Structures are given as structure tokens and as C-alpha cells.
Amino acid sequence: MRTPSRSFSSWPALLCAFGVLFSLFSVGVAVKENDFKKCHQSGFCKRNRDYADKAIAQGSSWQAPYKILPTEASFKDGLFHATILKTIDDKGATVELPLTISFHKSGTARVTVDERKRQDKSIELRHNSQARKERYNEAEKWAIVGGTTVDVDATISYSGEAGIKIKYGPNSAFEADIKYDPYSIEFKRDGSAQLKLNDRGLMNLEHWRPKVEKPPVEEKDGVENTEKKEESASEPVGEDESTWWEESFGGNTDSKPRGPESVALDVTFFGYDHVYGIPEHAGPLSLKETRGGDGAYTEPYRLYNSDVFEYILDSPMTLYGAIPLMQAHRKDSTVAIFWLNAAETWIDIKKAKESKNPLSLGSPQTNTQTHWISEAGVMDLFIFLGPTPADVSKAFGELTGTTAMPQEFSIGYHQCRWNYVSDDDVKEVDRKMDRHQIPYDVIWLDIEYTDEKKYFTWDKDMFKDPISMGQQLDVHGRKLVVIIDPHIKNSGGYPVIDELKANGLAVKNKDGKDFDGWCWPGSSMWVDCFNPSAIKWWKSLFKYNKFKGTMENTWLWNDMNEPSVFNGPEVTMPKDNLHYGSWEHRDVHNINGLTFHNATYEALLSRKKGELRRPFVLTRSFYAGSQRVGAMWTGDNQANWEHLGAAIPMILNQGVSGFPFAGADVGGFFGNPEAELQSRWYQAGAFYPFFRGHAHIDARRREPYMLAEPYRTIVTSALRLRYSLIPSWYTAFHQAHRDGSPIIRPMYWSHPSSEGGFGIDNQFFVGSTGILVKPVVEKGKTTEDVYIPDDEAYFDYFTYRQLPTAKGQTLTVDAPIESIPILMRGGHIFPRRDTPRRSVQLMKFDDYTLVVVVGKDGTAEGQLYADDGDSFEYQKGEYIHRTFKLEGSQLTSTDADNRDVKSIKKGEWLKNMQDVAVDKIIIVGAPSTWADKKEVQLETEGKQSTVKLEYFKGDANRGPFAIIGRVGAKIGADWTIEFA
Ligand code: NOJ
């Protein structure tokens, strides 16, 4: 075993008072709900909701105007092609909508509907717009990375005038039943209906039409409309055209050069009464109804990435990011759809009771009826038929990529605030964390480190010597994260803006000129990261010799990338702005944040020739696929108990939506948490995949060491608990990287059969460790009720005592302020590193502790994954991946990937790991028959030895357990311990 140069034991235990720094800045904090549209203020949302109302009111007499001509349909090699005809007037005129359905080897199906006239570019744009004429079809370029190999073995099981049925997927268990008139598709698994597209006939693809002058019509409520004198010739009489053309909101007018062009579709999930996903919203994990029903929202869920200052809770209001993936779950079955669209999107949810049989006998089932409405683009969606939540996560991971293997330091604790005011301030915080023996890995610099918000520069007075700051941090393996936003200050003498303009890399306004808006630096322009040349240029800015003051331990934070434009409509860019390829901002808005995040990720890959390390970039805005390039956090929350509670479902939702490297500002961004709240927040934050304390510029200083006792000790313990479990967290990240699974897992995901858990979103398991956490999120609370999803044995994490649990029941556990309710589920083995250190890097070659939690059947299993935590060498086999198994009288460690570990070529890290051992093994729930046992036999690397075992009977404070101390078996080697 290697001993790192410094350990906690050498730390002085002095506490210095730290003066509160007064801020020079002040920002208003009132949430301005009215800055953001409601559905009735977004023309296309209103039109589609009205359309739905009309269709539903007509009941069975509603005739959906979309049909497929059987003669135009064909199926070959896993692809179905047809033309949908949309009837657009009473005389039977139609427009053509090309339809493609592809069936993939991965088991997903994809349905894409375009518009012929737009494909052919035979439309006219208004206002001399330079925008593209096609419908946006490039979202896949950013979101999709695999899983679309077509399944040529998909077969027709029926074909006739009325429609066609295609069998596909594993063992041909999936079926798509395509009906021609009206057009609909029902998806079945093992013959039973799971979900149906256009079930209620709400599909609506607003085709292009020329604007035709008409006499004035009456003004409608809610939507400001600048021109109401005109109407199209080709729409049925009586349609509300008031929102077809220019639309204004909050003093901004959208020129809408293509007129109305929304795409909408209803999707019914049969027998499913829980739906999850479609982040980002601050509400429960199990999504609420939005069109009537108990406790329903009145607005649809909205996805339109926005800088929502001080957001409100329990709301379908849009937030900073968007992942249009919805999972539907019922006992033992999960299905999902992914709506691949980058434009503003609204989703209505309704739960309808329906009799399962024609005689209305038995209890009715719940069908969740959803209605998806996007402003622009092609209609493009993927269908996942499960049957388990893990199957959906895996298939979505194949499609959009899984979470990147993180820099290992980045799963330690991050200390941030807006702002550490100088390099001396940073050094001082660093010293004080050490003085108080509080582990941390990263300290962050917010926008004030720059010279007048000019990114890639430093404030010359306050950050005189950034390199010496970075070097001090490096002594203990710590890092610095600096913020770089996408708005570039538009002022003279700043080379970055000069280059941006000279190279034509900025987002353009509707007239094709560089778009100028307002953000932190004042007048600014936005780098257009849809443009490959912009990415190339962006990469050049991060080179160590260009961004002076940065070094190998400097990493990145991308904020405001929705993008936030203070004087823009809804605090973002005008929709008629133009991006690379002449796509309107309207088409690509929700992907914008991902493109910027991606450019920074790319930049960090090429800071120096020959240096290839995993980037760390935190983003605020995101889309499906962002998980491939970094971490996210939930933005500007508040220092109150409600926000502490709200963060858990939000982070869980990120996990089931494929972007699990997620966290919330610990302590709350706005305001000043009382000590109890701050302590509870650290206890919860210690179980966020991304763990960062952050505070607004007006908030008082609140580094953990500033807390008075007992709170400082409480927070320090939570941090140390996090650090001891880093090997388990890293293993969970690796699993997420391999199969798309969430890092913290809600009950429905871990226990898809346990119905009582489907609505629970305030407790979770950490990866596959069996560690079940229920953070306390209420003031003054000293007990917690934990839902027990199964029949296994559960033990208290700290006392090892077996708890009196029963399947489907809640158990009340003590939760005084010093403790976090953590249970260990029987049947698991998880790794720890128990020597307290200052940072993750200093733990790199520490020995391991294994905790074996014996299941009711006497077995247990678990994994450890480890690599150098920094490079991409793991892709070449430079890693350790073990499976530990307790079975019969043996505990074994074998290679989890069935590799012959002896033959793996060893790089530097693996060589160093050769000396790292399993130090101790704690066996929780060890059988009482071991009471007299004093030793066990260890067999490893061809040698036998005897190792001491101590058995503790248990007493008033502890449950029975056994410890095997000083095991000595190498962590990377195969070994067996024999208990017989
Ligand atoms: C908004 C971000 O959400 C917040 O975390 C940050 O401190 C401020 N921008 C200033 O950069």
C-alpha cells in the first residue's frame, strides 16, 4: 500500500473566524412568472390544445384528417415507407406528408413524418427571410449516437387494405400495428397493447400555406397579435388564424417567416398510471395530470430551455434543460417514447379510467393519455417497449449515449460561490478547509474573476497570480473550475469578440447581421456552436498558452447557455435569429445549450498536444445527449426547506432520463440557510451524483468550516461519508456509463414490481450497492419513514442492526440531526476507502474496505470498478473491475468482465495498483454460527494463508457482524475466502 504524502492526521484543528465578505453587486430575485409564456400565449400550443378540445368534444364522430394510401405504402428490410395524406378542406384537398417507420436491432422503433412541400423547398418565406425552407431534421446529429441499425429481420405479420402489422425486436415479441385510415400505430409486446400513436386523433401537422389577405376578424384573448386582417385561403372555414403569423410577447415580435408549422401527436399508454421523465421541471417524479384530475396542473409541461430566475416549485413551468423522454410504468412493465424535437414543446397529460372488457366488469384500468406539441421541425419519435426500466435506460443510452466516465475528482465535493473574490481568497479557503479537516476536491470561480466579464481574461487587481493559486490547489490534488459563458462582450480591444466577428461565427439576427443582446457583460454576441468552424475556433481559445493562467488542474463551467439573453423574449434569443445552416433559432432552441457544452468539452480535449484527459464541464442547459459531455445542476434554487426537498425528485428524474451526473446547489443559491438547513442539505448533497455547495453573490459566506458546532462536525461527517464511499460512487458511474442506468435510483426503477414505490420520489438506492437513502428535508424532523420495497433483510448503515422491515410497508427510523437515514439491503457487497484524506486524488492508492451485507438466503454480491480516474486508458483495458460474491461458505473476487487479469498489459496506474489491497471486510448480518470462528482461509495468487476473523455478537448499540482485518489480498487479483 502507498501512503500519500499528507493525511488528515497531520492537519491542525484550528478554527479561524472568517469575516463575511460584503458584495459589491446586487441582483433582484423575484421570480417573474409573467416573463414566461403560458400555453394560451404560445400560439401553436393554444391552437393544438383547442384542436384537441374540438376533437374530444366530437367524441366518436371526430374524423382525424390523416390517412395512408395503401397503394403508396411499402415495407422492406426493416423500413416502412408511406405517404400520409392530410385532408385540409371540405373539398377533399390534401397535402402530402412522407412517413418513415424504421425498426431497429436495438428493439426501438422510429416514426418520422415530414412535409413534402418543405422537403422540396417549394414554399415562400415572408419578410425576405434567409431561413431554411425545410423542416428541421438535424436534431439527430446532436442527440443520436447509435442504436439505429435497422433490423432487416423485422417481418410483416399481416398486410391488407386496412393496414399492416410488423413484428420486430427480441424474439419478434414486439409488434407495430399500423392502421391506414385514420392513420394510427399501436405498439404491442407479446400480443398486448402498450401504447398507441394518434389514439385520440389529435395528430396535427400544420402544413405550410401562403398568407392571404382577408377582412379583419375579432381579437382573441390572451395572445397579442399584430396582424389580424388576413387569413389563409386553404384552411377550413372557422379555424382560428389569429396566431398564425407574427406573434408578440413581452414587447418582442416574432416575424415567423414560415407561418404556422407545429407538429402534434397524442400517445396513449394503456394500463399505465405513472409516467416519468421529460425534465427539467421542479415537480414530483411521477408526472401530474395537466387537463383536469386531482391536484392537476392547469398548464401543460413545457420544454423551452430558459433562464428562470428563482424558479417556483411544483410546477410544469419550463426550466433550463430539456430531455423529451417519457417512461410509462406499471407493475412489471415499462415502455417509453422519445420525442426528438428541438423546438419549444408542450406536453399535456391526462389519466383516463377505462373498462378492460366490453361488459365493464372488474376494476377499470388507467390509460395515461399524453399530447405532445412542438412548434416546428419534423415529427420524429422513438418507441421503447421495455419491458423493464433498465431495458429502457439501456436502449436510450444506446441511442443518445451514456454518461461519460467522469474525472474521478469530480465525484468528490465542490466548493463554489459567486464569487471567491481574489486568488488570495481562494488560497485562504483552501487552507481553512485543511485546517478544519474538511475534504474537498474543487474550488470554483464564478464570473467575477474575469476582467469586466470578458471570458478568457482575469481581473488584474484581484487575480494577479492565477498560476500560483492553481499550484497551491495542486499540492493536495485539488482543482479549479472557472466559468465561461457563451455571450462574448461586444467591446473594442477584446480579441475574442474581434475574432468572433471577423470569422463570422456569431449567431445572426433575422436580417443576417451579428445578433447583439444583453447579458452579464452588457452588449454581447453569442458564439454559434452549431457551426463546425465555431467549434474549431472555440477549441483554440482554451489552449494553455492562449487562456493564460489556466493549467492542468483547471476545469470548466458553462452557464447561461439556454441561451440567457436578458433583453430577449422570455430571457432568451428571438426565435427568428439564424444559426449555422440558416436554421432558425426556433428550430434548434432546446439543443443550443448542448452545442455550447459540447464545444467546451471538445476544447478541453485539445488544450495541449499529446494531453488526452477526460474533460470536466458543468452545464446548466442540456438536451438528450448532454450526458456524453459532462455534468448538470438544477440552477438557481433557494435556501429553504422546500427547495431542499424538491431537488431529490429533480435529480432522480435526471437519472431515469439518461443524464444522471446531476446535482443541486447545496445550501440553496439564493438566501442564507440556517445551520440546521445547511447541515441537512450537506447530508442530502452527499448523495447527489454531483455534489457542490454554491451561493449567490448576495448570500453570506457559508463554507462548511464557518458553521458553529455541532453543525460543523455534522457537515464534516457527511462529507467524509461521501469520501469513504467514493469507490462505490465511481462503480455506479461506471455502470451508468456502460448501460445507461441511473446513478441514484428511484423505487420504481430498482423495484419495478413494488407498486407502493411507484409514487415515491424522496428516497433512492445508490447504484447497485443496496444503499438506500432517505435524506431528511424537513425542519426539526428527528425520524423518517422509509418505504421498504421487498422482502429482503435491511440493516442500519451505522449500527449494523437488522431492522424490522416488511415488504411494502414503511419503517420509521431515527433521524436526529447528526444522522442520515441510510439502510443497507441484504444481498449486496460494496467497496469503501476508509482512511480520511483531503481529496479524492490523495485516496488513489489507498486500500479498500468491503462491506458484505448478507441477504436472507445467505448470499451477497457486488462490484468494484476502478481506473486512473483521469485518462482514456480504461478504454484499452487499463482498469480493475471485480465481482465479489458470497455464496455457500465462500467469498470470492473474480474479474467482472471475465478477463484473465494476469495477461492484461499494465500501464502506470495498474502497476501502482498492484500493491493496493483489500484491507478489511465487514460482514453485516454474519450468521451466529460464526460466533466461535477465529480465522478464515484466504487463497490468492496461488498461495494459502490464514486471516483473523472477529465476530461481534451485537449489543444495545450494534447489530451482530464480523470483521476480517488485514486481509491483504490484492484488489486486482482473484481470491477466495473460505469460511467453512
Ligand atoms: C446563474 C447561475 O445559475 C449561477 O449559478 C451563477 O452563480 C450566476 N449565473 C453567475 O454566474
Instruction: Centre a 10 Å sphere on the Cβ of residue 978 and count the other Cβ atoms it contains.
Output: 14
Alpha helices in 725-788 (DSSP H): 726-739, 747-750
Question: CATH fold of 409-486+529-738, please?
Answer: TIM Barrel (3.20.20)
Q: What is the pLDDT of residue 7?
A: 33
The number of angstroms, rounded, from the C-alpha of 778 to the middle of its chain's C-alpha atoms is 25
Q: pLDDT below 70 — which residues of the chain?
A: 1-31, 215-239, 356-361
- For residue 247 and ligand 1, the question of a CB distance below 6 A is answered with no
User: In ligand 1, which atom is closest to the CA atom of 419?
Assistant: 7
Check whether the bond before 170 is cis (ω within 30° of 0): no
- For residue 453 and ligand 1, the question of a CB distance below 6 A is answered with no
Q: Could you report the per-residue pLDDT of 561-582, keeping only the tens digit for each?
A: 999 999 999 999 999 999 999 9
Q: What is the pLDDT of residue 354?
A: 87
Sign for the CA dihedral angle at 647, 648, 649, 655 comes to: positive
3-state secondary structure of 539: helix
- For residue 446 and ligand 1, the question of a CB distance below 6 A is answered with yes
Alpha helices in 606-724 (DSSP H): 641-656, 675-685, 711-724
Check whether the bond before 280 is cis (ω within 30° of 0): yes
Distances (CA, A) of 893 to 271, 807, 869, 926, 970: 43, 31, 22, 18, 10
Q: Could you report the per-residue pLDDT of 1-28, keeping only the tens digit for each?
A: 333 332 333 333 222 222 222 233 333 4
User: What is the number of residues in the chain?
Assistant: 980
Gap from CA of 649 to ligand 1 centroid (Å): 22
Gap from CA of 671 to ligand 1 centroid (Å): 14
Gap from CA of 559 to ligand 1 centroid (Å): 7
- For residue 635 and ligand 1, the question of a CB distance below 6 A is answered with yes
End-to-end CA distance of the chain: 29
Catalytic residues: 559, 562, 636
- For residue 559 and ligand 1, the question of a CB distance below 6 A is answered with yes
Which of 637, 669, 692 for a ligand 1 pocket mutation test, highest count of atoms within 8 Å of Cβ?
Answer: 669
Alpha helices in 101-184 (DSSP H): 116-119, 139-143
Gap from CA of 178 to ligand 1 centroid (Å): 48
Distances (CA, A) of 354 to 219, 276, 350, 366: 39, 21, 12, 6
CA distance 695 to 680: 16
Q: Whose CA is nearest to atom 7 of ligand 1?
A: 418
Q: 337 is written with which cell numbers?
A: 417514447
DSSP 8-state symbol, 92: -
User: In ligand 1, which atom is closest to the CA atom of 697?
Assistant: 7
In 3D space, the residue among 44, 197, 214 whose CA is nearest the CA of residue 111 turns out to be: 197
Q: Which amino acid is at 418?
A: W
DSSP 8-state symbol, 230: B
Which of 566, 636, 665, 670 for a ligand 1 pocket mutation test, highest count of atoms within 8 Å of Cβ?
Answer: 636
In 3D space, the residue among 528, 517, 508 whose CA is nearest the CA of residue 490 turns out to be: 517
CA distance 880 to 877: 8
DSSP 8-state symbol, 388: S
In 3D space, the residue among 586, 63, 44, 111 whose CA is nearest the CA of residue 263 turns out to be: 44
Domain range annotation of the chain: 47-206+261-356+364-400, 409-486+529-738, 745-978
Assign residue 954 a region (left: φ > 0; alpha: ψ between -120 and 50; beta: otherwise): left
Contact at 8 Å (CB) between 624 and 654?
Answer: no
Q: Whose CA is nearest to atom 4 of ligand 1?
A: 636
The residue whose grid cell reads 464511499 is 725
Assign residue 177 a region (left: φ > 0; alpha: ψ between -120 and 50; beta: otherwise): beta
- For residue 447 and ligand 1, the question of a CB distance below 6 A is answered with yes
CA distance 57 to 65: 16
Gap from CA of 28 to ligand 1 centroid (Å): 13
The yes-or-no answer to whether 47-206+261-356+364-400 and 409-486+529-738 have a common fold is: no
Rg of the chain on CA atoms, in Å: 29
Q: Please, what CATH class does the domain formed by 745-978 belong to? A: mainly beta
Question: CATH fold of 47-206+261-356+364-400, please?
Answer: Immunoglobulin-like (2.60.40)
3-state secondary structure of 973: coil
DSSP 8-state symbol, 19: P
Contact at 8 Å (CB) between 568 and 574?
Answer: yes
User: In ligand 1, which atom is closest to the CA atom of 669?
Assistant: 5
Residues sharing a CB contact under 8 Å with residue 365, sequence separation 6 or more, in sequence order: 270, 271, 353, 354, 355, 356
Buried b (16+ CB within 10 A) or exposed e, 449-484: bbbebbbbbbbeebbeebeebbebbeebbbbbbbbb
Q: Which amino acid is at 694?
A: H
User: In ligand 1, which atom is closest to the CA atom of 564?
Assistant: 1
Instruction: Centre a 10 Å sphere on the Cβ of residue 858 and count the other Cβ atoms it contains.
Output: 14
Assign residue 431 a region (left: φ > 0; alpha: ψ between -120 and 50; beta: otherwise): alpha
DSSP 8-state symbol, 916: -
DSSP 8-state symbol, 599: H
Q: What is the bridge-based pairing of β-strands 442-445 and 192-197?
A: unpaired
Contact at 8 Å (CB) between 792 and 856?
Answer: yes
- For residue 418 and ligand 1, the question of a CB distance below 6 A is answered with yes
Q: 612 is written with which cell numbers?
A: 488526452
Which of 309, 311, 414, 446 for a ligand 1 pocket mutation test, highest count of atoms within 8 Å of Cβ?
Answer: 446
Q: 811 is written with which cell numbers?
A: 419503517
User: In ligand 1, which atom is closest to the CA atom of 447?
Assistant: 11
User: In ligand 1, which atom is closest to the CA atom of 416?
Assistant: 7
- For residue 521 and ligand 1, the question of a CB distance below 6 A is answered with no
CA distance 230 to 743: 54
Question: Which residues on neighbouring strands pair with residue 380, listed in sequence order?
Answer: 112
Gap from CA of 859 to ligand 1 centroid (Å): 48
Question: Which residues on neighbouring strands pair with residue 191, listed in sequence order?
Answer: none
Residue-by-residue DSSP string for 199-215: SSS--EE-------B--
Residues sharing a CB contact under 8 Å with residue 237, sequence separation 6 or more, in sequence order: 90
User: In ligand 1, which atom is closest to the CA atom of 483?
Assistant: 11
The residue whose grid cell reads 462505490 is 728
Which of 559, 561, 562, 669 for a ligand 1 pocket mutation test, highest count of atoms within 8 Å of Cβ?
Answer: 559
Q: What is the bridge-based pairing of β-strands 764-766 and 771-773?
A: antiparallel
- For residue 636 and ligand 1, the question of a CB distance below 6 A is answered with yes
Q: Which amino acid is at 946?
A: T
Gap from CA of 484 to ligand 1 centroid (Å): 11
Residue-by-residue DSSP string for 780-843: T--EEEEE--SSS-EEETTT-PBP---TT-EEEEE--TT---EEEETTEEEEE--S--SSSGGG
CA distance 858 to 925: 9
pTM of the model: 0.95
Give ∠ CA 135-140-146 in degrees, rounded to 5: 155
In 3D space, the residue among 208, 231, 238, 259 whose CA is nearest the CA of residue 44 turns out to be: 259
Which of 306, 309, 560, 638 for a ligand 1 pocket mutation test, highest count of atoms within 8 Å of Cβ?
Answer: 560
- For residue 199 and ligand 1, the question of a CB distance below 6 A is answered with no
Assign residue 107 a region (left: φ > 0; alpha: ψ between -120 and 50; beta: otherwise): left
